[in-house]
Homo-oligomer: A and B are copies of this chain.
Amino acid sequence: MNATELTPPAPARRSFREQMHLAREDAIVQAVNRLLAEKGFDAMTVDEVAAEVGIAKASLYRHFPSKEDLAAEAMVRALERAQAFLASLNPNATPLDCLKATVRWLLQVQLQGEMPSLPSANSTLRATLMTHHAYMDRLLAVSEQLGGWIQAAQADGSLDASLPPIVVLYTVFARACDPVPGFLRSTGDFSDEQIIELVLQTCFHGLNAH
């Protein structure tokens, strides 16, 4: 959400064809996002994506060169959603509150089945991601925003200052693929709101009595 995006250059009206093209790509990425959240990269097939969008597989490959790029684009959108959320936070909130709000948001999106998750093992996928500039840029931006809050929260004494900031950052990120919310939901004993509060509690306060 910067000035450039809010005030596009003069001849901004996109042609009808361009709009259709973007709308279709958006539908594709949404389908990929949902399938990545539901079954993960390895179990997701390109046929499923095409079927869900309602187009032929060959048409899909006109938009994206490979399954890996499809996943990368879904991650870019997810990071953009994250960036939009981070930007929407009250600038006067404490750094700790911003971090808690971020974790709460990650858990919400995950429970809604809209958090794409990629295997950290797959090497060809990692290669695609590492060279995908749009992805790397947004990942860096999100990391730096969170990193700033982490350091500020450690400085103001609200966050454990003995933890290396990178440990805190990864612990926050990991809530996006935490299996605990899903397990708790499958027991049927908790509402989504309760699950989120419980996981938030264990994340920031730990299991110990205090």
Contacts and interface: CB of A to CB of B under 8 A. Distances in A.
Contact of A43 (B121, B163, B187): B121
29 contacts: A39-B121, A40-B42, A40-B119, A43-B119, A43-B121, A96-B208, A99-B207, A120-B182, A159-B207, A160-B201, A160-B206, A160-B207, A162-B201, A163-B198, A163-B201, A164-B190, A166-B189, A168-B202, A168-B207, A170-B179, A170-B183, A171-B180, A171-B202, A174-B183, A202-B206, A203-B207, A204-B206, A205-B206, A206-B208
Nearest to A123: B39
Which of A119, A163, A206, A210 has most B Cβ within 10 Å? A206
A179 B189 contact: no
The 4 closest A-B pairs by CB, nearest first: A206-B206, A42-B42, A205-B206, A170-B183
Given A40-B121, A42-B40, A166-B187, A157 B209 contact: yes
B184 A166 contact: yes
Nearest to A177: B179
Contacts of A144: none
A158 interface: yes
A58 interface: no
Contact of A160 (B120, B160, B173, B205): B205
Contacts of A166: 184, 187, 189
B189 A121 contact: no
Contacts of A201: 160, 162-163
A161 B209 contact: yes
Contacts of A167: 180, 184, 198-199, 202
Interface in A33-86: 38-40, 42-43
A179 B117 CA distance: 12
A90 interface: no
